[in-house]
Chain A
Amino acid sequence: MIIKIEQEDNSPAKGMQQFFKRLLELKEIDAVFLPVKLKDSSSIMPSLVTDPARIKDAVLFSPAFPINSARMVSRLSYKVSGRKTAVVLRPCEMRAFIELVKLKQGTREELILIGIDCPKALTSSDYTAYMEKSPLDDDAYIQKVFSENSETLNEFSFSSACNTCENPFPVNTDISILLHGVDLSDGLMAESYSDAGSRILEILEMPETSIPEKRDEVMVQIKETHSKANEAMMADIGEKTDSITKLTVFLDRCINCYNCRNMCPVCYCKECVFNTDVFFHQPVQYHQWSEKKGLIKMPTDTVFYHLTRMAHMSHACVGCGQCSNACPSDINVFELFKTVAHHTQAAFDYLPGSDENEPSPLSVFYEKEFEDVVGIQ
């Protein structure tokens, strides 16, 4: 089922607010989880809203992307709450959440998952600078992002995660909010993909419509440009890190803050091995290393940490870019992880978050597979 979302004053931003306000007022849902502009601030943070009056500060489409919300939705859903919650997620957040569902760190049962065509994002520091300079209003931003596939916003470049994203479209949703190829002045569209989603759309009593013909064409174009940017990025990173020596240089500013791990929505371990005593070395150990090599940089174990993280999460990397966003040393960890992820995902023929029923590659095995890696001839 596809409906046109009615809007007042030709404002898609207000139309979306009305959409959720009505769902709350009709008591069809108990809460909505979506990005909200905080009081007296330019910050937009994911928020759990229960009061219909507070929906007026919701901003679904903005360049703010402070955190991958999959982690937050996991917190809202890992146990039964007795509340029905509509959750609005960007495509990369949705894919990450599906990965967490596979790992039993979240469930869909009490959720209505609402995916949106991706409005792209700036890094958090660029977002702050952009808001201080000359921010567009919410509707103008939607107009800009969904009418031109630009790599920049005023003088700011969108995050490299967004410019290289090959799948900025919602999947695995109950309801998808469609903007690409849609005449925005006429209202956004919502398409349901499940019974629960259809029920919600029916209750709103909005006019039914059909997918605009242009949409497929627009999506293909976006995929193509982003794929090209992705190929170029991977070639560049491949060249910059093609030896351990170069990788060491690439990561040499790493201060072991583990922000990239903490902000990674698919770094799934409850307790990370790098926080355990295994890496709380004896003082004499450092001396022995130094005596062997003449010098050791401290903190140690930085290359080791990043390689281990790749072994743990690269098969599930959704390419959201929050690792780079969180790095205080400005290391381009996103580009490194995504490049490696591209190869590990290809090896297991796995696209994270694309299919809830497809098992995570390292959680299964088969009797006859990968026989090429066995043996010494």
Chain B
Amino acid sequence: MEKFEPVIIAFVCNWCTYTAADLAGTSRLSYPTNIRLIRVMCTGMVDPQYVIKAFLEGADGVLISGCHPGDCHYINGNYKARRRVKLLKEILPRFGIEKDRLRLTWIGASDGIEFAEVMTRLNDQIIEMGPSQTSLSKAI
């Protein structure tokens, strides 16, 4: 059987996690290519719709990653993101999208090594979970 290559959408904030990804790149660290980064200005602008859309379009996992609490460039966007993730983690599992397919992390701008490690861990965990049923269905 072909090896399962998941599709993982990661919404990363401009100021912390994206910068960490940049640092990982300039440090020549590698991380799984299954993860597609979408840079947003702040995790606080990740509308729950974006996450729902990603899953319905067939994503096997969605990551939201931003600054550590207290470090948000916009003061409190990451706290808002945390509440929205909590909300989505209540809604989506009712329809068979497992809780652990949606993840939230804080990765600071200087944590290039951590970024590569976390992405590898996330990828391994999603592979273990197998393909999301949404990637197999025709729901829009």
Using CB atoms and an 8 Å cutoff, list the residues of chain B in contact with chain A: 48-49, 52-53, 56, 69-70, 76, 79-80, 82-92, 94-97, 103-106, 118, 121-122, 125, 133-134, 137-140
Known: A238-B94, A244-B137. A311 touches B52 (CB 8 A): yes
- Name the residue on B nearest A273 (C-beta): B49
Determine whether the beta carbon of B85 is less than 8 Å from that of A344: no
Contact of B82 among A238, A312, A343, A370 (CB under 8 A): A370
Determine whether the beta carbon of A304 is less than 8 Å from that of B52: yes
- Name the residue on A nearest B51 (C-beta): A311
Determine whether the beta carbon of B140 is less than 8 Å from that of A300: yes
Taking the nearest CB of chain B, how far is it from the CB of A376, in angstroms?
5
Q: How far is the CA of A374 from the CA of B63 in the complex (A)?
A: 11
Q: Is A308 an interface residue (CB 8 A)?
A: yes
- Starting from the known contacts A362-B84, A365-B83, A373-B85, 13 additional A-B residue pairs (CB-CB under 8 Å) come to A241-B95, A242-B94, A242-B96, A248-B137, A307-B52, A311-B48, A311-B87, A340-B94, A344-B91, A362-B83, A370-B83, A374-B106, A376-B105
Q: Which of A135-143, A192-200, A205-213, A288-296 is the contact stretch? A: A288-296
Contact of A339 among B83, B94, B118 (CB under 8 A): B94
Taking the nearest CB of chain B, how far is it from the CB of A179, in angstroms?
36
Taking the nearest CB of chain B, how far is it from the CB of A56, in angstroms?
48
Q: Is A51 an interface residue (CB 8 A)?
A: no
Determine whether the beta carbon of A243 is less than 8 Å from that of B87: no
Contacts of B122 in A (CB 8 A): 376
Taking the nearest CB of chain A, how far is it from the CB of B30, in angstroms?
18
Determine whether the beta carbon of A365 is less than 8 Å from that of B80: yes
Determine whether the beta carbon of B134 is less than 8 Å from that of A376: no
Contact of A365 among B49, B52, B79, B106 (CB under 8 A): B79
Known: A244-B133, A300-B140, A365-B76. A374 touches B105 (CB 8 A): yes
Contacts of A307 in B (CB 8 A): 52, 56, 91-92, 95
Known: A301-B140, A375-B105. A244 touches B95 (CB 8 A): yes
Determine whether the beta carbon of B82 is less than 8 Å from that of A365: yes
Across chains A and B, which 3 residue pairs bring their CB atoms closest together, nearest first?
A243-B96, A365-B79, A311-B48
Contact of B138 among A247, A248, A312 (CB under 8 A): A248
Determine whether the beta carbon of B86 is less than 8 Å from that of A370: yes
Q: Is A245 an interface residue (CB 8 A)?
A: yes
- Name the residue on B nearest A289 (C-beta): B140
Known: A310-B91, A347-B87, A367-B69. A373 touches B82 (CB 8 A): yes
Contacts of A347 in B (CB 8 A): 86-87, 90
Known: A308-B49, A311-B48, A365-B83. A241 touches B94 (CB 8 A): yes
Determine whether the beta carbon of B140 is less than 8 Å from that of A296: yes
Could you list 19 examples of A-B contacts with CB < 8 Å? A241-B94, A241-B95, A244-B96, A244-B134, A244-B137, A247-B95, A248-B139, A289-B140, A302-B140, A303-B56, A315-B87, A343-B90, A347-B86, A347-B87, A362-B83, A362-B84, A367-B69, A367-B70, A374-B105
Interface of chain A, helix or strand or loop or mixed? Answer: helix
Contacts of A148 in B (CB 8 A): none
Interface size grouping (class) on chain A:
35 or more
Determine whether the beta carbon of A296 is less than 8 Å from that of B138: yes
Contacts of A344 in B (CB 8 A): 87, 90-91
Contacts of A376 in B (CB 8 A): 103, 105, 118, 121-122, 125
1/0 per residue, CB under 8 A from B, across A20-52: the answer is 000000000000000000000000000000000
Contacts of B53 in A (CB 8 A): 304
Contacts of A238 in B (CB 8 A): 94
Q: How far is the CA of A111 from the CA of B108 in the complex (A)?
A: 51
Taking the nearest CB of chain B, how far is it from the CB of A244, in angstroms?
5
Q: How far is the CA of A238 from the CA of B96 in the complex (A)?
A: 10
Q: How far is the CA of A34 from the CA of B88 in the complex (A)?
A: 38
Contacts of A246 in B (CB 8 A): 95-96
Determine whether the beta carbon of A308 is less than 8 Å from that of B52: yes
- Name the residue on A nearest B117 (C-beta): A376
Contact of B87 among A300, A362, A367 (CB under 8 A): A362
Contacts of B95 in A (CB 8 A): 241-244, 246-247, 307
Contacts of A369 in B (CB 8 A): 82-83
Contact of A374 among B70, B82, B90, B140 (CB under 8 A): B82
Q: Is A324 an interface residue (CB 8 A)?
A: no
Determine whether the beta carbon of B83 is less than 8 Å from that of A361: yes
Q: Is A366 an interface residue (CB 8 A)?
A: yes
Known: A244-B97, A273-B49. A340 touches B121 (CB 8 A): no
Q: Is A167 an interface residue (CB 8 A)?
A: no
Q: Is A322 an interface residue (CB 8 A)?
A: no
Taking the nearest CB of chain B, how far is it from the CB of A234, in angstroms?
10
Q: How far is the CA of A347 from the CA of B96 in the complex (A)?
A: 18
